[in-house]
Amino acid sequence: MTQLIAEFCQNHNGNMELLARMVEAAAKAGATHGKMQTILADTIAYRPQFEEGLIVDGVTKSIKRPYGAEYQRLKGLEVSQKDTLRFVDLCHQNGLVPMTTCFVRAHARDLAQAGFKTIKVASYDCSSYPMLRELGSLFNEVVVSTGATFDDEVLHAAAILRDKSFALLHCVTLYPTPLDQMHLLRMQWLRTLVPRVGFSEHSLVSRDGLVASKAALALGADIIERHFTILGPTESRDGPVSITPQHMAELAAFVALSSQERMQRMDVEHPDWKVMCGQQRRQLSDDELLNRDYYRGRFASPRPESRNGTRMIFNWEETPLA
């Protein structure tokens, strides 16, 4: 069965009642999975190179994202342990499979105990091999995004999880992603590594609608993950790349079509859709590498002596957690 993951991300704006309404709306619209993000501000790592960023000859070499401002922003978006348990229950009550993204190793066991059976790994942790091993041992299914990840890293991640139930999602870590940089044929390469593959996408909804998600489905995607909102596009940080309940219902209707019908629909309604096919294997763009530089290592597990994001254990480190 094709899976439609409603990624609630930070679109709840720290309001649990809004998150509950999103769960209900996604379920009614035809989503199969509801996904939150488990982010606690105390797991943000302080990295001095991002305090001021770096621009050389007009070219950004390092993103400016000061620790203090990011800490305060994310602190207001935290979902408590109590509300996480409520989220799991709400998903079950509405017929959704509950999911969350685990951003640090220190949260893995708590999330398993909260009742999540399926766990998501963000693109920037595809090569965090110690965390992949831990998640593979704790959850029934691991879904791994592969954006901004080198081919050899994806290969090793698949090898680590080969005896587990897992899926790989193609993703392009440009926010928003232009249609001509989707490289949807990447899913064909991923399918040589695991039977179940999909697409986690970040196109600009006001400009591109659902065309990339539909194209991925026409090409055989088993899973589609989309940011989901019930607010206006300017009312949350991820609003511009988030679909509405109406969009989700449209995706669910497209999923109900046969493979042949999907392809025919794309050819008629979006005759230029193959511009999104791109390449199975390619080099990462400069912008993807720039995002990788910042987001890989953005979160880490605090040591007992950690202060203000320092002295952390990163997800790729083998260091035992206290």
When pLDDT is averaged across residues 73-94 and rounded to a whole number, the result is 98
Work out the percent of the chain whose per-residue pLDDT is above 70: 100
| Phi, psi of 145, rounded to the nearest 5 degrees | -80, 150
For the residues of 16-33, what is the DSSP string, one character each?
HHHHHHHHHHHHHHT-SE
Strands 301-302 and 312-313: antiparallel
| Phi, psi of 2, rounded to the nearest 5 degrees | -70, 135
Helices (H), the chain: 16-29, 49-52, 67-75, 81-93, 108-113, 129-138, 151-160, 186-191, 205-208, 211-218, 245-255, 259-269, 286-295
When pLDDT is averaged across residues 16-22 and rounded to a whole number, the result is 98
Domains of the chain: 3-313 (3.20.20.70)
When pLDDT is averaged across residues 84-110 and rounded to a whole number, the result is 99
When pLDDT is averaged across residues 175-183 and rounded to a whole number, the result is 98
When pLDDT is averaged across residues 59-75 and rounded to a whole number, the result is 97
Question: Which pLDDT score is estimated for 310?
Answer: 96
When pLDDT is averaged across residues 128-139 and rounded to a whole number, the result is 99
Strands 118-121 and 242-243: unpaired
Question: Which pLDDT score is estimated for 56?
Answer: 95
When pLDDT is averaged across residues 280-299 and rounded to a whole number, the result is 97
Is the predicted pLDDT of residue 38 greater than 90, yes or no? yes
Question: Which pLDDT score is estimated for 17?
Answer: 98
Cα gap 220→177, rounded to integer Å? 20
When pLDDT is averaged across residues 44-66 and rounded to a whole number, the result is 97
Are 201 and 177 contacting, i.e. CB atoms less than 8 angstroms apart?
Answer: yes
When pLDDT is averaged across residues 298-318 and rounded to a whole number, the result is 96
Query: pLDDT tier at 231 (50, 70, 90 boundaries)?
Result: very high
Query: pLDDT tier at 147 (50, 70, 90 boundaries)?
Result: very high
Question: Which pLDDT score is estimated for 322?
Answer: 73
Name the pTM for this structure: 0.97
Are 241 and 172 contacting, i.e. CB atoms less than 8 angstroms apart?
Answer: no
